[in-house]
Structure 1
Amino acid sequence: MSTDFTTPDLSAALALLRAGELVGIPTETVYGLAADASQPAAVAKIFAAKGRPNDHPVIVHIAGIEQLSDWAQNIPESAYQLANAFWPGPLTLILERQAHVSDSVTGGQNTVGLRAPAHPITHELLRQFGGGLAAPSANQFGHVSPTTAEHVRHEFTPEQVSLILDGGACQVGVESTIVSLVGGVAKLLRPGGISRAAIETVLNSAIEHHTDQHSAQQRVSGLLDSHYAPRTPLITGSLAAILKIANEKQQANNKVVLLTQEKHTDLSYPQQKMPDEPTAYAQSIYATLRTLDQQGFDLLLLETPPEGAEWLAIHDRLNRAAQQKLV
Structure 2
Amino acid sequence: MSTVFDCRDDSQILAGMRHARQAIARGELIVLPTDTVYGIAADAFSPAAVQRLLDAKGRGRDMPPPVLVAGQDMLRALVEEIPPAVQQLVDAFWPGGLTIVLPAQPSLTWDLGETKGTVAVRMPDRRIALELLAETGPLAVSSANLTGRDAAVIAADAEQMLGDSVAVYLEEGYSETGIPSTIVDATSLVSAAEGEAPVVRVLREGAVSRAQLGAVLGDLLEPAQTPSETDESPVEQG
TM-score, structure 1 as length reference: 0.63
CA RMSD of aligned residues (A): 2.1
Amino acid corresponding to residue 119 of structure 2 in structure 1? V
Q: Which residue of 2 aligns with 1:198?
A: 212
Aligned residue pairs total: 220
Answer whether contact 1:60 1:112 (CA < 8 A) is retained. yes
The residue correspondences of 1:1-327 to structure 2 (distance < 5 A) are 4=9, 6-101=13-108, 104-129=111-136, 131-158=137-164, 160-184=165-189, 185-205=199-219, 207-208=221-222, 209-210=224-225, 215-216=230-231, 218-222=233-237
Structure 1 residues 78 and 69: CA distance shift in structure 2, 3 A: same
Structure 1 residues 151 and 74: CA distance shift in structure 2, 3 A: same
TM-score, structure 2 as length reference: 0.85
Answer whether contact 1:189 1:210 (CA < 8 A) is retained. no
Q: Which runs of 5+ in 1 are unaligned?
A: 223-227, 229-327
Amino acid corresponding to residue 69 of structure 1 in structure 2? R
Q: Secondary structure at the match of 1:92?
A: strand
Answer whether contact 1:75 1:96 (CA < 8 A) is retained. no
1:196, distance to aligned residue in structure 2 (A): 1.0
Answer whether contact 1:95 1:111 (CA < 8 A) is retained. yes
Structure 1 residues 102 and 140: CA distance shift in structure 2, 3 A: farther
Amino acid corresponding to residue 42 of structure 2 in structure 1? A
Q: Secondary structure at the match of 2:112?
A: helix
Structure 1 residues 74 and 135: CA distance shift in structure 2, 3 A: same
Percent identical pairs in the alignment equals: 35
1:33, distance to aligned residue in structure 2 (A): 0.6
1:101, distance to aligned residue in structure 2 (A): 4.2
1:218, distance to aligned residue in structure 2 (A): 4.4
Amino acid corresponding to residue 200 of structure 1 in structure 2? G
Q: Which residue of 2 aligns with 1:241?
A: none
Q: Secondary structure at the match of 2:203?
A: strand
Q: Which runs of 5+ in 2 are unaligned?
A: 1-6, 190-198
Which of the two has higher C-alpha Rg? Answer: 1
Structure 1 residues 213 and 85: CA distance shift in structure 2, 3 A: farther
Answer whether contact 1:3 1:121 (CA < 8 A) is retained. no
Amino acid corresponding to residue 9 of structure 1 in structure 2? G
Distance 1:150 1:91 in 2: 25
Higher RCO, Cα 8 Å, sep 6+: 2
